[in-house]
Amino acid sequence: MRRRKILLVILDGLGDLPSPALGGRTPLEAAETPVLDGLAAAGLGGLLDPLAPGVAAETHTGTAPLLGLEAKALEGLTRGPIEAAGAGLELAPGDIALRGNFATVVAEGGELAIVDRRAGRIREHTQELVDALEGIGPIDGVQIRARAQKQHRIVLQLAGEDLSAAIEDTDPGNAGRPQRLRSSHAPGEDAAAARTADVLDRFLRRAHEILASHPVNRERAAQGLPVANAILTRGAGVAQPIEGRMGQLGLRGAVVAGDRALLGLARLLGFTGITAPEFTALADSDPRAKVAAACAALADHDVVWLHYKATDITAHDRQPRLKRDCIARFDAALAPLCDEDIVIGVTADHTTDSNSGSHTADPVPAL
């Protein structure tokens, strides 16, 4: 039997709930999608649960199965090491990796109140902010390395003796108001975790002091922009080997993405990661360039994943109309792939509700 190549399109956070701003329709229902409509007419479509009915997925847990990772391998798969892999960091055994955000905080009642968890999705001069943190440490013998990611994102690597990833996030997420910057702590009586949490807290306090007075933030404040004067952390973990079904089947895979989580999973699974500066992971990402990169990758790969993050980001920012427009823009860009003699799949990693800005446990469309 002739074996055709496969393109799997992952529209991040594509699932949604009816929006009053769109007349009670979801962004996908409201979008002009003649290409996807044609594919749907020629193929099979429906709804699927990324993990299980009633279980909300994150980007890495919802995407990993689409990349061929079996469910049992998801246990213990945390975002920190995935982001670290996407950033090109090499984790030694025992190192701890965390993902984080630059954030805007203000002193309030002896605590730090979070004004903006993403510092206005800062895009400029983040490397300068990270460079200013290089002088912190070592703390209690632990070296801490920071790596700037796209926009507000950052990765931390802790290297030293007797460390543990069993620590709580300092990022409170979107739940609850008002939001306060949390201290990291270790549940139970794990001495290594308690030490790791203490080192991390000391680093984050010092980072806040340095960032608060940094020239980049003084300039942002003068321009009326949110300052990036704190770091929120989450997803602590250690590197662990993972193997997916694609590798077991001897299939060559490539991932076209701007999101570091996808590029990190690609690296960990032994796939080719393909990215470019115009793959911003925001609404201004260039879907035509991504489609062209996917077409090129199909020449020497068996399976190509094409990931589009803008559908998720716009929903997190509660912009259903912009999410609708991103879907339509992507649909138009997808047209050249319909002329290829390939198998095409289109789905999502999770549902992101553009009314609340949060992931939900609702099923996602699949084609």
C-alpha to C-alpha distance for 233 and 101, rounded to whole angstroms: 7
CA distances to 101, 184, 192 from 92, in Å: 23, 23, 17
Mean pLDDT score of the chain: 90
> Which one-letter DSSP state was computed for residue 122?
-
Burial of residue 339 (CB within 10 Å: 0-12, 13-18, 19+) is: exposed
What integer is the mean pLDDT of 315-339?
Answer: 94
Q: Does residue 365 surpass a pLDDT of 70? A: yes
Which helix (H) or strand (E) segment is 148 a member of? strand 143-148
pLDDT band at 261 (very low <50, low <70, confident <90, very high): confident
User: How much of the chain exceeds pLDDT 70, in percent?
Assistant: 98
At 178 the pLDDT is 62
> Which one-letter DSSP state was computed for residue 184?
P
C-alpha to C-alpha distance for 166 and 25, rounded to whole angstroms: 42
The residue ranking higher by pLDDT, 253 or 340, is 253
At 174 the pLDDT is 67
At 338 the pLDDT is 81
At 179 the pLDDT is 80
What integer is the mean pLDDT of 207-211?
Answer: 93
Buried b (16+ CB within 10 A) or exposed e, 346-360: bbbbbbbbbeeebbb
C-alpha to C-alpha distance for 305 and 48, rounded to whole angstroms: 18
The residue ranking higher by pLDDT, 277 or 311, is 311
Q: Does residue 101 surpass a pLDDT of 60? A: yes
In the numeric block, which tokens belong to residue 168? 């709580």
User: Contact at 8 Å (CB) between 46 and 366?
Assistant: yes
User: Contact at 8 Å (CB) between 261 and 82?
Assistant: yes
Residues 54-85: pLDDT tens digits? 999 888 889 989 999 887 777 777 888 888 88
Q: Does residue 176 surpass a pLDDT of 60? A: no
The residue ranking higher by pLDDT, 167 or 180, is 167
CA distances to 74, 200, 246 from 250, in Å: 21, 41, 6
Buried b (16+ CB within 10 A) or exposed e, 179-197: bebbebebeeeeebbbbbb
Choose the most confident range, by mean pLDDT, from 97-106, 171-180, 302-311.
Answer: 302-311
At 225 the pLDDT is 94
The residue ranking higher by pLDDT, 189 or 300, is 300
At 242 the pLDDT is 79
Q: Does residue 294 surpass a pLDDT of 70? A: yes
The answer to pTM > 0.75 is: yes
Q: Does residue 109 surpass a pLDDT of 80? A: no
pLDDT band at 307 (very low <50, low <70, confident <90, very high): very high
Q: Does residue 208 surpass a pLDDT of 60? A: yes
Within the chain, residue ranges assigned H as helices are 27-30, 34-42, 59-63, 79-86, 126-131, 191-212, 215-222, 245-248, 260-269, 287-297, 310-316, 320-333
Among 121-125, 205-209, 312-316, the least confident range = 121-125
C-alpha to C-alpha distance for 348 and 118, rounded to whole angstroms: 24
At 247 the pLDDT is 80
Q: CA neighbours within 13 Å on the CB side: how many for 200? A: 35
User: Contact at 8 Å (CB) between 117 and 179?
Assistant: yes
pLDDT band at 290 (very low <50, low <70, confident <90, very high): very high
pLDDT band at 144 (very low <50, low <70, confident <90, very high): very high
C-alpha to C-alpha distance for 9 and 36, rounded to whole angstroms: 11
In the numeric block, which tokens belong to residue 14? 């594509």
What integer is the mean pLDDT of 206-226?
Answer: 94
